[in-house]
Copies of this chain bind each other. A is one copy, B any other.
Amino acid sequence: MKRSLLLCMLACSLTWAQGGDDSRPAPTNVRGADYPRVHSDSRVTFRLEAPEARRVQLQPNSAAEAENGLGKGPSDLVRGKDGVWTLTTPPVVPGLHIYHFLVDGMPAIDPGSETFMAGRGGAHYGESLANSGVEVPEKGVDFYLLKDVPHGVVQELWYYSKVTAEWRRAFVYTPPEYDRNSRARYPVLYLQHGGGDNESGWVRQGRMSFIMDNLLAAKKAVSMLVVMERGYANPPAGTQPPGGAASALTAWTAIAGDSAGASSAFRVQDLVSRLRFEDLVIRDLIPTIDARYRTIADREHRAIAGLSRGGEQAMQIGLAHLDTFASIGDFSGGSSARAFNPETSNNGIFKKVDVLNSKLKLLWVGSGEAEEPAYHYRRFHETLDKLGIRHVFYESPGTSHEWLTWWRHLNQFVPHLFR
């Protein structure tokens, strides 16, 4: 190490200043930013200019949930003479890793990185905060990249929700030929983001449109619309759940499983938000989409899926409305992994094996091999098998509770839809 550093100081002082000869700015950097840099062996070099700081640390957002190589807790950067702090990690897992810095304990984003909305410890309930992200490319893989294929568009649509009495924003993907085939009608996938994220998540960090464009170009999927909404419908402050707080906690477990570490107040508020969102999807969102777009407005041509908290919501909403949805995708939702009980979960629907098998065209569950047990679906898959419930199970090799897992999930899930 020291010898190679010495050689480098003699021979490659110019490229060293750029972070070493084999490293490149991460694809997720803002234009013109040299750092963070990704090395050919997937090490990552972070850099922050903070001459007056006494301590600068790297804090991976997923530390509580998964190991991706950025470390479990905060890692110290080292101060250079010029007041520039740097850290090179060991090789990390490919994918998009969300992080921020701690500068003398204060969370701060990396000015070199694009910002990505995500939850963060200490944030308010349902709140999104700007974080940084570093994408480590997966070698030889391009299903989630912008490619030279026909491209659909993503539409930003404002619509009024009667349930929450507010204007809300949805994003709607329409396939490349949507405008040219002015009489064709399309099936619809409703696709939910995870906790702390918002309706832009699948569009930006989710690479949804590139994954869809690539699947369609390869004729691996049926043309469809994809609708993304913000999976929160928080009630006015002080609203009590139907039946009171105690019954709400029971209902929470029945719908969304156990949530270790969440306070009762959090659970009650979350339950009310989830039930209102379910109502909003059925009463406001679907009618809006069916009125505004050329959809095939029946259950066989409507699916709901989501990641993490959005996976729980897909199960909650899909299983409670089999007259509305015939296909469900749960990407690392975790509720079934944490507290699945075939007798009580999702209001006992799993006892009705014949109903599920006859009504559901597709039940798809996926997780990441490196996810913590709370999100791991292998046991759930085995339980479904024992119960005789038809489903598809997919495990993303080597990845944890972050975006490469869900890029792969979307890419695996969509080809099964609307066949």
Give the B-binding residues of A (Cβ under 8 A). Answer: 30-33, 48-54, 103-109, 111, 115, 123-130, 146, 148, 151, 153-160, 167, 172, 179, 182, 203, 209, 232, 292-293
Contacts and interface: CB of A to CB of B under 8 A. Distances in A.
B167 A157 contact: no
Contacts of A49: 106
Contact of A31 (B30, B128, B153, B154): B128
Given A50-B104, A156-B203, 5 more contacts: A31-B127, A32-B127, A103-B106, A115-B115, A148-B160
A288 to B, nearest CB: 11
Contacts of A155: 153-156
A124 B160 CA distance: 41
Contact of A124 (B32, B50, B146): B32
A84 B142 CA distance: 46
Contacts of A53: 104, 106
Given A50-B106, A103-B106, A292-B179, A156 B157 contact: no
Nearest to A147: B167
Nearest to A56: B106
A172 B154 CA distance: 10
A82 to B, nearest CB: 14
B158 A156 contact: no
Contacts of A127: 30-33
20 contacts: A30-B128, A31-B124, A31-B126, A31-B232, A32-B127, A33-B124, A48-B106, A50-B104, A51-B105, A52-B106, A104-B104, A109-B109, A111-B129, A115-B115, A115-B130, A148-B167, A151-B157, A153-B157, A154-B156, A156-B203
Nearest to A128: B30
A106 B109 CA distance: 11
A146 B167 CA distance: 8
Nearest to A148: B160
Candidate in A115, A123, A155, A209 with the most chain B CB atoms within 10 angstroms = A155
A103 B146 CA distance: 38
A154 B169 CA distance: 11
A158 B146 contact: yes
A108 B151 CA distance: 36
A103 B108 contact: yes
A354 to B, nearest CB: 41
A178 B54 CA distance: 57
Contacts of A148: 160, 167
Nearest to A169: B146
A232 B149 CA distance: 24
A111 B108 CA distance: 8
A159 to B, nearest CB: 7
